[in-house]
Chains A and B, each alone.
Chain A
Amino acid sequence: MAEAFIYDAVRTPRGKGKTDGSLHEITPLQLAAQVMKAIPERLNIDKGEVEDVAFGCVSPVGEQGAVITRTAVLEAGFPNQTSGIQVNRFCGSGLEASNIAAAKVMSGECEIAMGGGVESMSRVPMGSDGGAMVTDPQASFQAYFVPQGISADLIATKYGFSRDDVDAYAVESHKRATKAWDEGRFDKSILPVKDVMGVNILSKDETIRPKTDMQALGALNPSFAMLGQNFGFNDVAQMRYPEVEKINHVHHAGNSSGIVDGASALLFGSQSAGERLDIKPRARIVSMASIGSEPTIMLTGPEVAAQKALRTAGMNAKDIDLYELNEAFAAVVLRFMQALDVDHSIMNVNGGAIAMGHPLGATGAMILGTMVDELERADKETALVTLCIGGGMGIATIIERV
């Protein structure tokens, strides 16, 4: 099988996903198109070289519906021959789309393929696509469905993370994101978003609060206590986890991922295609894994996915230099570090979604790009990128600097 290499990675800054966010006026079509066309332009290759584009998008309805990827491919000025597919694996969509693009290269289907994702959470709110998982009684009774926040609080309770633990983690996320920006660690891949006039409307992640501290976070009320207690979700969680006496609601807006708008893209290709186009590979795909895990606790999939990817690669957890796990909720990361015995110093070194936000369909590809940059900057060899996923799934990709 051919090997797949990453030749470039870009992402938009993440704009606050509310009506007063800087990217609210930018359509998801524009967000996607801008990152798509940036890569061929930066690499100075013909857009027609990109054979297929896979983009993640979690609420593919309304203006994100009807295969937003193909729509954006045409909007971005790619020739007709470039195809497009929209991918949905909830929060893992961006990484899944990247893995699909990489797999297309590895299988020989494509020489060059693009992966990435887009989500304008301010314009197409989370949950806009309904879904049987949440609404159909057959599904929710079967899976003991609870909202993610309850799952995150269940993780904290079951694995013993206190409110202080999760808050301290969140403070550190802001601190690291601030430092990363101050030191220009994201500069290589940040693509400022342009408005209708072609003027830069956002050049930097919008939700980082450098001064966030324990006092500030301590003042926030837990977000899921009322939901869990009044609507039966805590009881449902305890039906699956009877060893838990009482769910400790520790998560709130300040230690969970932020709602933001953004898009991201990476270019994958074979070695020969790179040589032919005279572009330099930056990282190699070592292994990839997608798994299903218990759906009620829902967010413990990353450890399983990571272990599968490590197994496939013939590696163990200690062989990885840098870890990147999407900061959906602080407890998700704390549990992963506990389960795989990963030191915080090599986990999410430049902060994560708690500080910078989680544009659902785009995040997986964003953090994969972040790792490509960071391996080069820090002069490290291997990175493992992983995300927890709704419905009880996990996804992981291991890359190696070239």
Chain B
Amino acid sequence: MSNYTTFSVEVDADGIAVLKIDVPNQGMNVWDEALMAEFPKFVDSFVSDDAMKGLVIASGRDNGFMAGADLRMLEKQTGELSRETFNDAMILNGALRKLETGGHTDREIQREGKKAKPVAIALEGLALGGGFELALAGHYRVAADSPKVKLGLPEVLVGLLPGGGGTQRVPRLAGLQNAAQLITSGASLNAQKAKAQNLIHEIVEPGTTIDAAKAWVKDNLGGTLQPWDVKGFRVPGGAGAMNPKAVQFFSAANAMALAKSKDNFPAIKAIMSCLYEGTQLPMSKAIQVETKYFLSLFADPVAQNMIRTLFVNKQAAEKGAGRPEGIDRIEIKKVGVLGAGLMGSGIAHVTAKAGMQVISLDRTDEEAQKSVTYTKKILDKRVKRGRMTQEKADAFLARITPTSDYNMLKDVDLIIEAVFERPDVKADVIKKTEAVIRKDVIFASNTSTLPIGGLAENSVRPENFIGLHFFSPVERMPLLEIIPHEGTGDRALAAAFDYNRKIKKTPIVVKDVRGFFTNQVFPPYIAEAISMIMEGTSTALIENSALNMGLPIGPLGVQDETTLKLGYDVIQSTKKELGDAYQSTGTEEFYDLMVNDLGRSGRRFGKGLYNYDESGKRLDLWKGVTDHYPLAAEQPSQAEVQQRLMYAQLIPTARTFSEGVVPDPQSADLGAIFGWGFPPWTGGPMSYIDTIGIDTFVATADMLAQKHGERFKVPTLFRDMAEKGETLYGGAPKAYSKSALERMLEADVVKIANGMGIAASVDDLKADTIAKILGAQSGKKAA
């Protein structure tokens, strides 16, 4: 038996081999380059070596079977589509197929009755992505009766599809509907649900899966086959364009997938096609089609951008990429949260949720009690829905201690202040708090409007003073802006990261300037939408254009959530602060009308740009807006609306980046997606700009600036980068793929064409312009 580094193999007296996967240098078992190289070699020897009569595959780790593929390895994929890349990609799929067929061809199985050596899989813990696909290639799957068992195919979450046979074996076991649900959602199943869907065969006591798997192998040493290799196999529930049930399924499932993805995620379409086309083919062909779709996703920047931002960079940020080095972890067990309003209550909630003790302080005991009520309401709902036991809820709630007594703060490890946004109120609170807390305790302010440096002037220990900007509702919003002011010490920054690791938000470090990062970009985006209303654009068109672009909620819906009142107040306070330097957005009269004249101040006030019922449920768009801003006879196209909404986010992001408000493109991308829901399929605004090319970004922005005003002016930094042919993330600009161009704004496609010296305009068919670009590119390649 040759020596493998990523797994061990032991053969018992019955000739049953037990392969235990233990991939070195990885936190969990994953398909990395080493395992990808060794596993096919083992399969070759397994099918040919008579000493091995059957096989059990298990994990050599106690933290699960296998977590999938190493995405860092996938990030290096070139995205080239060729016979060679296909052959490379088929190596693993071919090995899995060999495992289930015993290396026999379809013809040998069908005509000569050849069978495979039995392969059983022992699942003690999670098997996700490529790990689950390995398991599916076995003939028999035994899972432990344990909550640790999670089975699923989460590839779609980073813009990919399960390319190891997942889209083929799941529908053949569980039927098309279950398969589509599992694979397009990326959700995972517990052992019981997986068994109900025929995805596993047996559930046994934890610790006994290998024994049970061995027992099955022993009973089947005469050979076995996958159900789909047995003559007469039918996909459960039917498949194919002539099967009425399958026709009905695809007709609805395609629409639902399209509606959910808004056609922005090529993986969703590719998954549906793998299900549709693959289930009409024999397995050997089906996995080839799946591999071709898988590779086509790599040729599209969506997957690469999603992997980079949503996986690699997100994980790095959460692990503390921005944390200063050389400072020991700061243990935070008890946190003082000042203020029990909406934000303070939310912060108390997530802090207690992470297992920390919370002292929730407000002016009176009664006010302080509000944070307890806030959390109780959330927990009651969870208990009622069976998501949490009463016992756990009680313990959770007990971690929050409401008080109006500053002395209660004397032994806290961290202070987070979320009191009223008035400098004098904050100053008073800082003074009273610092009088009782330990000298090494970090004081964080959750202000969203006041400069941290200004507040720190009230502190006797400004080096311990920092900003932690949460978003509302705190328990649901994933972003945390960490704002060191000029005098913040490294220890304070480290503490912010250490606290964040517990509450598990995605952190970005931003500069101490007015609005920090997200609040500099978000308001211009909303203002653009309001400007369009004032020009007479249909509100439905604005909202749907944003939704279709991939925003989770339209700008008008969002404005109702954050309230027009807040928008109005910010305008007033900015005016007051900046005086003559205030730059009008042109939307001031709209806010004045909505808030002061009409009382349509937002959802919290019962009405805004939308109508709401008494429980706050959103009804329809408020049609009365056209009494004040009549509908223009000629409405802009969806493409025009999307272009303005997109660039109203790109330009301020580019500006803040060039001003150093965010330290790197990674932070800007994370902040945009997790802060205000910038379309995740883009990988973030910086990734989007890189994808279209900085020169294209500059050209489109120039056109918008000419048409709509200076707010679309490109920062000089970007103009310079465009001239030098640079990219934000480094590396040379890439050639444009067809699918990438199809997903871009029409204006950007036109500018790309113009940049290549091709005459094109938005009046041309987008498909024609794309064809011209692709033609020019391939000509360049040939030359």
Contacts and interface: CB of A to CB of B under 8 A. Distances in A.
Interface of A: 127, 130-132, 134-138, 140-141, 144-147, 231-236, 238-239, 242-246
A184 B479 CA distance: 75
A242 B276 contact: no
A232 B540 contact: no
Interface string B233-258: 00000001111101100111011111
A380 B244 CA distance: 47
Contact of B258 (A127, A140, A243): A140
B635 interface: yes
B299 interface: no
Contacts of A232: 252, 255-260
Nearest to A140: B254
A137 B620 contact: no
Which 10 pairs between the two chains have the least Cβ-Cβ distance? Answer: A232-B259, A242-B544, A235-B259, A137-B272, A245-B540, A232-B256, A130-B241, A232-B255, A231-B252, A140-B254
Nearest to A238: B544
Nearest to A231: B252
Contacts of A140: 250-251, 254-255, 258
B254 A145 contact: yes
Contacts of B242: 130
B638 interface: yes
Given A238-B548, A242-B548, A245-B540, 20 more contacts: A127-B244, A130-B241, A134-B247, A135-B241, A135-B251, A136-B250, A137-B273, A140-B250, A141-B272, A147-B251, A232-B252, A232-B260, A235-B255, A239-B259, A239-B263, A242-B540, A242-B544, A244-B540, A245-B539, A245-B620
A239 B276 contact: no
Contact of B250 (A134, A236, A238, A246): A134
Given A232-B260, A246-B620, A137 B250 contact: yes
B563 to A, nearest CB: 22
Contacts of A145: 251, 254-255
Contacts of B28: none
B621 interface: yes
B646 interface: no
Nearest to B252: A231
B269 interface: yes
B632 to A, nearest CB: 12
B506 interface: no
21 contacts: A130-B241, A130-B243, A132-B241, A135-B247, A136-B241, A137-B250, A137-B269, A140-B250, A141-B258, A145-B255, A235-B255, A238-B544, A239-B259, A239-B262, A239-B544, A242-B540, A242-B544, A242-B548, A242-B638, A245-B539, A245-B621
Interface string B635-654: 10010010000000000000
Contacts of A236: 255, 258-259
A127 B247 contact: yes
A135 B255 contact: no
A231 B258 CA distance: 10
Given A232-B259, A239-B548, A242-B638, A134 B251 contact: yes
Contacts of A144: 258
Interface string B524-548: 0000000000000011110111001
Given A134-B250, A233-B255, A141 B263 contact: yes
A134 B545 CA distance: 25
A13 B220 CA distance: 65
Interface string B542-573: 01110010000000000000000000000000
A132 B621 CA distance: 37
B273 A138 contact: yes
A134 B252 CA distance: 9
B269 A138 contact: yes
Nearest to B538: A243
Main secondary structure of the interface of B (DSSP, over half): helix
A245 B262 CA distance: 16
Contact of A231 (B256, B273, B540, B620): B256
A66 to B, nearest CB: 15
A233 B262 CA distance: 12
Nearest to B263: A141
A236 to B, nearest CB: 5
Nearest to A138: B273
B541 A243 contact: yes
Contact of B276 (A137, A231, A233, A245): A137
A131 B272 CA distance: 16
A243 B255 contact: no
A141 B743 CA distance: 13
Contacts of A243: 538, 540-541, 544, 635
A244 B544 CA distance: 8
A35 B260 CA distance: 49
A52 to B, nearest CB: 30
Contacts of B243: 130
B246 A135 contact: yes
A137 B257 CA distance: 9
In this complex, the member of A131, A137, A141, A233 whose beta carbon has the largest number of chain B beta carbons within 10 angstroms is A137
Contacts of B620: 245-246
Contacts of B276: 135-137
A138 to B, nearest CB: 6
A135 B258 contact: no
A204 B621 CA distance: 50
A37 B539 CA distance: 60
Nearest to B637: A242
A341 B648 CA distance: 42
Contacts of A231: 252, 255-256
Nearest to B241: A130
Contacts of A138: 269, 273
A244 B635 CA distance: 12
A135 B545 CA distance: 27
B41 to A, nearest CB: 36
Contacts of B246: 135
A321 to B, nearest CB: 34
A130 B260 CA distance: 24
B768 to A, nearest CB: 16
A134 B272 CA distance: 13
A13 B540 CA distance: 46
In this complex, the member of B244, B540, B620 whose beta carbon has the largest number of chain A beta carbons within 10 angstroms is B540
Contacts of B255: 140, 145-146, 231-233, 235-236
A157 B259 CA distance: 19
Contacts of B548: 238-239, 242
Contacts of A244: 540, 544
B538 to A, nearest CB: 5
Nearest to A129: B242
Contacts of B272: 137, 141
A132 B242 CA distance: 10
B540 A141 contact: no
A100 to B, nearest CB: 27
In this complex, the member of A235, A243, A246 whose beta carbon has the largest number of chain B beta carbons within 10 angstroms is A243
A239 B258 contact: yes
Contacts of B277: 136
B252 A130 contact: no
Contacts of A136: 241, 250, 273, 276-277
Nearest to A246: B620
In this complex, the member of B254, B262, B269, B276 whose beta carbon has the largest number of chain A beta carbons within 10 angstroms is B254
Contacts of B244: 127
A131 B540 contact: no
Nearest to B251: A134
Interface in B609-640: 620-621, 635, 638
A248 to B, nearest CB: 12
B552 to A, nearest CB: 14
A144 B255 CA distance: 8
Contacts of B240: 130
A141 B251 CA distance: 11
Interface in B49-68: none
Contact of A130 (B247, B541, B635): B247
A134 B539 CA distance: 32
